[in-house]
């Protein structure tokens, strides 16, 4: 991998990680369209450490508060009813599904799941799911002529059951094209949470999963065509760009709909199907050189 490739891929990772359009799919597609080697699951996981560092800084006050309350609750029973302490446990519980499934399906994630036809399918299907969830949220918020405005849930109402559902939604992002934020936000909206609450828990829930995945994949960083230098460079690029994107996205979702992302996902999926169907792009483009 050249330094230019690592710069572009780091930029793509930072731009797409927090948007509901799938960063892993865009890294895979960028390489395929440019005629580069597939950067692979290890490169993706490690560069995600950069974007998660942006989450740690952006939500630093929330994280310090949650971690502090959680540790206190281990020895102080009076703290176990504290919302922040409970949130610490819920992040742990919600991280179990992706941890178990990530290890179980590691070979598939690094192989068959990177087929461009599967990515096109998940882009479209999850785009439709996000669109439905967004419409339901908009209907509750707007009410109607014969329907009162329905108040949606905040994170204070999050329990173990919903935390696990969020976790299984996040685990779906092991398949490129699903999108970690897209799946968890969709799940949250379908369960009745506000856009802001679903997005905030989505980002907090991703921290242990992404960091663990990145550390786990460190051993493979120097293998194949991807070397340490470009990988680290791409990770720093992803961090800088990711911080800007997450700040913008958290403001965007308070007043805007997810429909632009829904339309983009569906169009990209259809274009990808058309290119593969016409023979202009191989469903395994770049994989042979892995």
pLDDT in tens, 221-278: 555 556 788 889 999 999 999 999 999 999 998 888 899 999 999 999 999 999 999 9
pLDDT at 221: 59
- Model confidence at 80: pLDDT above 90: no
- Model confidence at 32: pLDDT above 70: yes
pLDDT at 85: 94
The encoded tokens of residue 117 equal: 């036809």
Compute the mean pLDDT over every residue in the chain, rounded to the nearest whole number: 88
Over residues 22-31, the mean pLDDT reads 89
pLDDT at 222: 56
pLDDT at 142: 79
Nearest to 190 by CA among 159, 153, 146: 153
Over residues 10-15, the mean pLDDT reads 95
| 55: exposed, middle or buried (Cβ count in 10 Å: 0-12, 13-18, 19+) | buried
pLDDT at 288: 41
- Model confidence at 282: pLDDT above 70: yes
The 10s digit of each residue's pLDDT in 105-133 is 877 776 778 889 999 999 999 999 999 99
Nearest to 280 by CA among 107, 74, 81, 35: 35
0.75 surpassed by pTM: yes
Nearest to 244 by CA among 5, 7, 11, 6: 11
- 112 to each of 142, 176, 269, 285, how far by Cα in Å? 43, 10, 18, 13
The 10s digit of each residue's pLDDT in 141-157 is 877 666 777 889 999 99
Is residue 34 within 8 A of residue 4, CB to CB? The reply is no
């Amino acid at each position: 991998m050249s330094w230019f490739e690592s710069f572009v891929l780091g930029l793509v990772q930072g731009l797409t990680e927090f948007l509901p359009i799938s960063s892993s799919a865009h890294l895979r597609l960028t390489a395929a369209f440019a005629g580069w080697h597939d950067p692979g699951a290890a490169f993706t996981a490690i560069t995600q450490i950069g974007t998660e560092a942006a989450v740690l800084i952006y939500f630093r006050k929330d994280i310090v508060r949650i971690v502090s309350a959680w540790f206190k609750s281990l020895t102080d029973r009076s703290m176990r009813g504290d919302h922040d302490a409970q949130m610490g446990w819920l992040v742990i519980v919600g991280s179990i599904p992706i941890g178990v499934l990530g290890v179980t399906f590691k070979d598939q994630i690094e192989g068959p799941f990177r087929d461009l036809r599967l990515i096109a399918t998940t882009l479209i299907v999850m785009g439709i799911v996000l669109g439905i969830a967004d419409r339901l949220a908009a209907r509750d918020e707007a009410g109607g002529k014969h329907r009162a405005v329905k108040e949606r849930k905040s994170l204070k109402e999050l329990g173990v059951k919903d935390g696990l559902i969020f976790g299984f939604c996040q685990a779906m992002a092991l398949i490129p094209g699903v999108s970690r934020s897209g799946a968890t936000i969709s799940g949250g909206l379908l369960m009745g949470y506000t856009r802001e609450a679903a997005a905030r828990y989505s980002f907090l829930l991703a921290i242990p999963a992404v960091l663990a995945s990145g550390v786990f994949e460190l051993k493979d960083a120097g293998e194949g065509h991807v070397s340490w230098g470009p990988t680290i460079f791409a990770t720093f690029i992803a961090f800088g760009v990711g911080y800007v994107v997450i700040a913008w996205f958290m403001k965007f979702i308070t007043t805007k709909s997810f429909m632009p992302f829904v339309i983009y996902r569906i169009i990209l999926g259809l274009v990808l199907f058309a290119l593969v169907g016409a023979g202009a792009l191989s469903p395994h483009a770049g994989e042979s050189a892995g």
